[in-house]
Amino acid sequence: MENRYFRSIENSAKGTEFPLDTLLAELSFNRDGLLPVIAQDHVSREVLMMAWMNREALEHTLASGNVTYWSRSRAQLWRKGETSGNHQRLVKLRIDCDGDTLLCDVEQVGPACHTGRSNCFYLSVDRHRNSVTLDGE
């Protein structure tokens, strides 16, 4: 579904500023109150992981600078690195053109994936060979 607010600002001049509270209020959370979030390394641009945020997780992330997600399996806030020590410090938060997906540029401390790999996308699909290869360290 089209978000009229984001549609109304898409032709604004580069450098135009908008009130954060207004943009946050216009985000298109899904019916479970969640937004998908992609985390990528702010230097290498490597995509590290995908997770979910609710409004509270987003507010915690913005207030603390430590990326906080919503754990769907545990139904609670999950500050990345809370148990593993592999934290993500927010460098920049980006909102997509529809207001329904977030991109966090992060400084990753330690591996991003719970498997100990640098990122969660270590399985490569070869559609021609009809196979999947594990190619992460």
- Over range 69-78, report the average pLDDT: 94
pLDDT at 77 (0 to 100): 96
Tell me how many domains the chain contains.
Answer: 1
pLDDT at 137 (0 to 100): 62
CATH assignment of the domain containing 107: 3.10.20.810
Nearest of 131, 130, 113 to residue 122 by alpha carbon: 113
77-118 pLDDT tens trace: 999 988 888 999 999 999 999 999 999 999 999 999 989 999
Does a structural domain hold residue 120?
A: no
- Could you tell me the sign of the dihedral formed by the alpha carbons of 13, 15, 21, 27, in that order? positive
| pTM: predicted TM-score of the whole model, two decimal places | 0.90
Does a structural domain hold residue 23?
A: yes
Does a structural domain hold residue 117?
A: no
Does a structural domain hold residue 129?
A: no
Print the domain residue range for 63: 4-112
What's the token pair of residue 12? 């604004």
Does a structural domain hold residue 123?
A: no
CA end-to-end distance (rounded Å), the chain:
39
What's the token pair of residue 7? 């549609």
137-to-18, 116, 125 alpha-carbon distances in Å? 41, 9, 16
- Could you tell me the sign of the dihedral formed by the alpha carbons of 109, 125, 36, 8, in that order? positive
Does a structural domain hold residue 118?
A: no
User: Quick one: which H or E segment has residue 7?
Assistant: helix 4-9
